[in-house]
Chains A and B, each alone.
Chain A
Amino acid sequence: MTALAIEAHGLVKTFGENRAVDGVDLAVGAGTVYGVLGPNGAGKTTTVRMLTTLLRPDGGSARVLGHDVVDDADQVRRLIGLTGQYASVDEDLTGTENLVLQSRLVGLSRTRSRQRAAELLESFDLTDAANRPVKHFSGGMRRRIDLAASIVVTPDVLFLDEPTTGLDPRSRGQVWDIVRDLVAGGTTVLLTTQYLDEADQLADRIAVIDRGTVIAEGTSADLKASVGRSSLHLRLADEAQSDLAERLVAQTLDTTPHRTPEAGVITAPVADPDVVADLMIRLRAEGVRIDEIGVQRPSLDEVFLTLTGHAADDDTERTAA
């Protein structure tokens, strides 16, 4: 991690009373994939918009490949590509028209633009839809055309705001492959996501943000270590036994269990899944009745419970799936 492609120091953006981004620091190494993980309303989009010169920070500073996003915005725009969270292509235009438009706007010649559009449609598996208006595209196709539009010329730094939210596993896999290809070609990628799994698959380092601040940063292994290698999910048949069960879990697994917002459900990080067998014996011995028990890979919810002490979605509209 020698040269930094993106550096942010104490970025702040307030909307009225709401401190949407409240002192975010980021350091992204050139040629790496950096994941920004957070629930709805965490400030991911606002951070990306500041880094891509669309929003002026109210405090702090940020540089992309050494260029300040405020003072040297034009230079930054020559280096980046952006796929916003919400479709940033023209719904009324066809796939081809959108890509030609984009190519012309980055300065490719007319002929080269048409050529590049055809090339990208082919690579993104959209040739059949080339002449259909984007508004008739499926969600996955929209995401791909959007991504294609941001790489008509190869960006040095590519920003992807929730590139796979709402996609089926196959489309998600396609987007991941595209990101890997780009990184292999030397592009630095910063992507935001609500899925730990996605950050896990793609990102070299991850920043977890919540309520406008970075609450954890590190490799995916670091993050997972903080919540245990896997996690226990226990649903009690009788929620009145929650306190007893919580104590037993704490003693047997030697960790701090969490109660989820759901009544009678306890989760806990598990270092060694084998110990769960001991736990089940103790629960039976103490007469605690189990409705459901499982050991899973930690989910984003658990990362959040562990890191913040509150659930990912307890103050937002939607659950982070």
Chain B
Amino acid sequence: MTTTTQAATAERPISSVAARVERPQPPSALSASLTLGWRSVLKIRRIPEQLFDVTFQPVIFIVMFVYLFGGAVSGSTTQYLQFVLPGILVQTVVMASLYTGISLNTDIGKGIFDRFRSLPIWRPSALVGALLADSIRYVVAAVVCLGVGMAMGFRPDGTVLDVFAAVVLVLVFAFSLSWIFAFLGLVMRSAGAVQGVSMLAMFPLTFASNVFVDPSTMPGWLRAWVDVNPVSHLVTAVRGLMAGSPDAGDISWSLIGCAVLIAVFAPLTVRAYRRRS
């Protein structure tokens, strides 16, 4: 054993291990969150398959819905595209926010979270960092949807600024919604369970809305839900912005929805995160 030890010493330059490096002031909450967000971005870069649901999936949805239902619903595929694209944009980004919970659930069991928790940083920064990095996925989803839509003939009547505002509104909504899934990701035992429950919530939110069809032909009880569904308000707001006729009412409703989601779920999520150790 002694010989091995000596051999190892001889090969290793010991200099910098023993030299004392003083600990600086711990980073601010923002800086720690951004650093941890950077970690998630690096992970996306390393495993680009994570982007499937925000790249191929919306393409398939747009192509399928437009050519499958376009003629039947609106009489022509071009007209339906004009109607459905903002809806699919919202649906894709909202669906993408579900992934937050699943990835958090898998990530948090790993040893690296122990290390984060043993550091003198603002506790929720790992959480906030992950949510911020997910915004990048939402941007990718939005760009893909708009790109494919435009290629197929979608033409927004609004200005570039209107379209931009519409995309930002969707991103803000997805960020707010991702707190719910982050919460589920923290309180549920397995990633599979998170996926199951989230999906269950996802269907009434996205399909029972005005994403795909005008709700005027729906039965009363369903319309009642569609009318209060925050996703419907968001879709109407986005349609308005893209058509160049923004509706202040729907935009405000969407933003209020965001504020409520964050006000309720951010504290719950942070509490669940603190407990989970």
For the complex, is A289 an interface residue (Cβ under 8 Å from B)?
Answer: no
Choice from A49, A105, A125 contacting B119 with Cβ under 8 Å: A105
The answer to whether A174 touches B8, judged by C-beta atoms less than 8 angstroms apart, is yes
For the complex, is A82 an interface residue (Cβ under 8 Å from B)?
Answer: yes
For the complex, is B60 an interface residue (Cβ under 8 Å from A)?
Answer: no
Contacts of B5 in A (CB 8 A): 173, 176-177
The answer to whether B8 touches A170, judged by C-beta atoms less than 8 angstroms apart, is yes
A56 to B22 Cα, complex, angstroms: 28
A3 to B24 Cα, complex, angstroms: 24
For the complex, is A160 an interface residue (Cβ under 8 Å from B)?
Answer: no
Contacts of A90 in B (CB 8 A): 39, 43, 112
CB contacts under 8 Å to B, within A146-196, are 149-155, 169-170, 172-174, 176-178, 181-182, 184-186
Report the nearest B residue to A176, measured CB to CB: B5
Smallest CB separation, B106 vs chain A (Å): 12
For the complex, is A106 an interface residue (Cβ under 8 Å from B)?
Answer: yes
Choice from A105, A123, A173 contacting B13 with Cβ under 8 Å: A123
The answer to whether B26 touches A152, judged by C-beta atoms less than 8 angstroms apart, is no
For the complex, is A263 an interface residue (Cβ under 8 Å from B)?
Answer: no
| Chain B interface helix/strand/loop/mixed | helix
A88 to B11 Cα, complex, angstroms: 26
Q: A86-B111, A106-B26, A173-B8 are in contact. Are A123 and B14 (CB under 8 A)?
A: yes
A45 to B154 Cα, complex, angstroms: 59
CB contacts under 8 Å to A, within B8-45, are 8-9, 11-27, 31-32, 35-36, 38-39, 42-43
For the complex, is B7 an interface residue (Cβ under 8 Å from A)?
Answer: yes
Contacts of B8 in A (CB 8 A): 170, 173-174, 177
The answer to whether B116 touches A105, judged by C-beta atoms less than 8 angstroms apart, is yes
The answer to whether B26 touches A78, judged by C-beta atoms less than 8 angstroms apart, is yes
- 17 extra interface residue pairs, beta carbon distance < 8 Å, beyond A91-B110, A104-B35, A123-B13: A55-B277, A77-B119, A84-B111, A93-B39, A93-B43, A93-B46, A101-B38, A105-B32, A107-B25, A119-B16, A120-B17, A151-B21, A172-B4, A177-B5, A177-B12, A181-B18, A185-B20
Residues of B within 8 A of A (CB): 1, 4-5, 7-9, 11-27, 31-32, 35-36, 38-39, 42-43, 46-47, 110-112, 114-121, 277
- List 24 A-B pairs, Cβ < 8 Å: A77-B119, A78-B120, A82-B114, A82-B115, A90-B39, A91-B110, A105-B119, A106-B119, A108-B24, A116-B21, A122-B13, A123-B12, A125-B12, A133-B46, A153-B22, A173-B9, A177-B5, A177-B12, A181-B18, A182-B17, A182-B18, A185-B17, A185-B19, A201-B1
Question: Which 4 interchain pairs have the tightest Cβ spacing?
Answer: A88-B111, A173-B5, A173-B8, A77-B120
Residues of A within 8 A of B (CB): 49, 52-55, 74, 77-78, 80, 82, 84-93, 97, 101-102, 104-108, 116, 119-120, 122-125, 133, 149-155, 169-170, 172-174, 176-178, 181-182, 184-186, 197, 201
